[in-house]
Amino acid sequence: MSINADFLALSERLDAALPRADVAGLYLPDPVPDETFRDEFGFVLLADGSVGPFYVSMGGLLAELWRRHPDPAAARAPRSALLAGFDGTDLATRALAVGAFNALSQSLMRRAGYRPPGRGAGGEGDALAPGDTVGMVGYFCPVVDRLVAAGMTVLVLEHAPQRVPGRAAVRVTTEPRDLAACRQVICTASVLINDTLDELLAAAAGAAAFQLIGPTGSGLPDALFARGVAAVGGIDFGDADDLLACLARREPWGKAGRKYEITPAAYPGVEALLARLN
């Protein structure tokens, strides 16, 4: 079964179990002619205050979302309508499905009283030693800085190599198979949008650990853990109004949320979370 099918099945369970709180708006960043050097996120907002981030800087995605939703703040829809985007190949509808899934997941975690451990509890440098090669799908400058400072080599898989600045101890490749030689792989959760996760997991089968990080990975991790992902990093927003205020002021919005990292050992599973609702 594909990862999209797993997400769709899980989404349907959450949609049936949680109180009705439909889509109360979208946030889309301003479009620009060239997304190559920009990493931006949209947000699905539910009526209960839950927020679901999703990556938009790829393949004309942002422009297409604006075409379909010219007044994103006024977007209203049953959440099931967005979640259905997992059952297809259209990039824009899958992006919104990921955002809706993330928002619904945050709603469940909040209602069930589950607070994931803070980011760094099982950090990217665990079980690594100087001289090890760490694979990176997407370029995370702060993480690269920490790894290089600790004596590791970083191999960045990037289909637009010009995004990666030249520096010592950092190599760039466009071939997923090169990840197999890495001790550990840190992967941007944006692969959930372009549906390349299964391909990358197969390519990195020789790595000791595969981590998925970034705001797009803010959904329930059951399907990811079932595929051997070792840790999932995401973000939760306790107050959607704080986030929207940051966005309106064009300020960095990360301060409006709390970054976290979930490992299989620190996660009770969706069944346990659903049971807590009763």
Q: Measured between alpha carbons, how far is 251 from 245 in angstroms, rounded to an integer?
A: 9
Could you tell me the pLDDT band of residue 165, with boundaries at 50, 70 and 90? Answer: confident
Q: Which pLDDT score is estimated for 121?
A: 55
Q: Measured between alpha carbons, how far is 191 from 27 in angstroms, rounded to an integer?
A: 20
What is the Cα 158 distance to its own chain's centre? 17
Contact 135, 207 (CB under 8 A): yes
> Which segments of the chain are extended strands (E)?
23-27, 41-46, 51-55, 133-137, 153-157, 170-173, 184-188, 209-213, 231-236, 258-262
Average pLDDT, the chain: 93
Q: What angle do CA 145, 129, 160 make, to 5 degrees?
A: 40
Q: Measured between alpha carbons, how far is 34 from 16 in angstroms, rounded to an integer?
A: 40
pLDDT digits (tens, 9 = 90+) for 125-161: 457 888 899 999 988 888 999 999 999 999 999 888 8
From the list 14, 264, 11, 217, the residue with the least C-alpha distance to 122 is 264
What are the residue ranges spanned by the domains of the chain?
A: 3-115+238-256
Average pLDDT over residues 88-113: 97
Q: Which pLDDT score is estimated for 163?
A: 83
From the list 222, 225, 231, the residue with the least C-alpha distance to 259 is 231
Q: Measured between alpha carbons, how far is 58 from 47 in angstroms, rounded to an integer?
A: 28
Contact 40, 29 (CB under 8 A): yes
Say if residue 124's pLDDT is above 70: no
Say if residue 123's pLDDT is above 70: no
What's the whole-model pTM score? Answer: 0.94
Could you tell me the pLDDT band of residue 162, with boundaries at 50, 70 and 90? Answer: confident
Q: Which fold has domain 3-115+238-256?
A: Enolase-like; domain 1 (3.30.390)
Q: Which of 83-92, 153-162, 192-201, 235-244 comes out lowest in average pLDDT?
A: 153-162
| Contacts of residue 241, Cβ cutoff 8 Å, sequence gap at least 6 | none
pLDDT digits (tens, 9 = 90+) for 1-40: 689 999 999 999 999 999 999 999 999 999 888 776 678 9
Q: Which pLDDT score is estimated for 153?
A: 94
Top pLDDT among 40 and 119 is at: 40
| Contacts of residue 35, Cβ cutoff 8 Å, sequence gap at least 6 | 57, 58, 60, 62
Q: Which of 32-41, 78-87, 127-136, 187-196 comes out lowest in average pLDDT?
A: 32-41
Which residue type is seen at 8?
L
Q: What is residue 23's DSSP assignment?
A: E
